Amino acid sequence: MTEVVLGVCGGIAAYRACELLRLFTESGHGVRVVPTAAALKFVGVPTWAALSGRPVATEVWDDAHEVPHVRIGRHADLVVVAPATADILAKAAHGIADDLLTNTLLTATCPVVFAPAMHTEMWENAATRANVALLRSRGFVVIEPAVGRLTGADTGKGRLPDPGEIFEIAVRRLRGKGADLAGRRVVVTAGGTREPLDPVRFLGNRSSGKQGYALARTAVARGAHVTLIAANVTLPDPAGADIVRVGTTEELRKATAEAAASADVVVMCAAPADFRPATVADFKIKKRDDGTVPPLELVTNPDIAAELGATKRPGQVLVAFAAETHDALAGARVKLARKRADLIVVNEVGVDRVFGADRNTVTLLGADGSATELGELPKDDVADAIWDAVVPRLVVLVGDRGTR
């Protein structure tokens, strides 16, 4: 049984950690809850003990003969701090150990994941940003907080991400993937664009966005700062990713070009429409009196991946996708060269195949001539395989360090 330490800090989001705790226990993990004194003002010891099925230690002096301030961290396979306050981030960054949780963090040699929750001003404060950067440089995963309702009437960035999404990131860390994308800025596009015909109709495709969202989720788990550009996706937002919502191919083009300017990796997983109507009707298009349909003139949309490939900075990695209905590999090799991509992910698609499914079968083709065929896998595992191929192609950053 894997041993998880769930650290809980003092914030209104502490009650949401109860759901995270249940997700761990119901999936077979042993969980030791280590709340701070402030956390107990929001959720008490009996609740944590009942949900974890284990006693809850709150002081370094509890069961002193077992030396808990060393033992808990030393025996953990994973430490998750949710919610993580600005205070705990500062203490962890600077090695302060003044209670049981901070002692546990200082002695833990396993992966550590922080899920921050605080007011927007606290998250954006220069001191907090510096502490987060320092923790990430050491291989800790600090998830970007969500945007939404905070305490009282306040709204902004600082909300605890969805516990289910925190759980997914934590599980990826438990499965052995290090923070090999720490310090990297990653852009992932997902979903399918829609080109309006008239006020009620559009040209679109069947892309659900699941593979792109899996890429974003796994990149966060591996320590990256992720911008997810989502085209008409209705899935829950991956925890820790900055979400940019777009509708049309032109909107996707502009958002991706802006985000790519400072990115180390751009993954073009979205399915942009190849064509759009030459004109958009101001009113709903109706059948003619004889039942026929007015002719529809289409024009070609820009090839976003090819534009990115043409302007790619030295050291930047571009990953393209090729969704084909036949002759997939042959078509993908042509696209790989034309788009000047470093990698292209190839799959055959169709009705009830890939789109909307939870599993995928792909082949990775590299500009270096490499070819890796993956059997049918969950889309999260496909995403990890893609990142495994990306990491060796990244230029080593000054200051890159070992991962936790």
Residues 6+ apart with CB under 8 A from 382: 211, 214, 360, 362, 374
From the list 205, 232, 347, 360, the catalytic residue is: 205
Question: How many residues are listed for the chain in this entry?
Answer: 404
Verify cis geometry, omega within 30 degrees of 0, for the bond prior to 161: no
Listing DSSP states for 210-259 in one string gives HHHHHHHHHHHHTT-EEEEEEES--SPPPTTEEEEEE-SHHHHHHHHHHH
| Separate counts of helices (H) and strands (E) for the chain | 13, 21
Structure-token pair, residue 211: 């593979």
Q: Nearest 5°: CA angle at 160, between 184 and 123?
A: 60
Q: Answer yes or no: 347 catalytic.
A: no
Torsions phi, psi for 27 (to 5 deg): -95, 10
AA identity, residue 12 = I
Residues with Cβ < 8 Å from 38, sequence gap 6 or more?
9, 10, 11, 85
| DSSP state letters, 18-50 | HHHHHHHHHTT-EEEEEE-TTGGGTS-HHHHHH
Q: In angstroms, how far is the first alpha carbon of the chain from the final one?
A: 20
Q: Which helix (H) or strand (E) holds 121?
A: helix 120-124
Catalytically active residues are 205
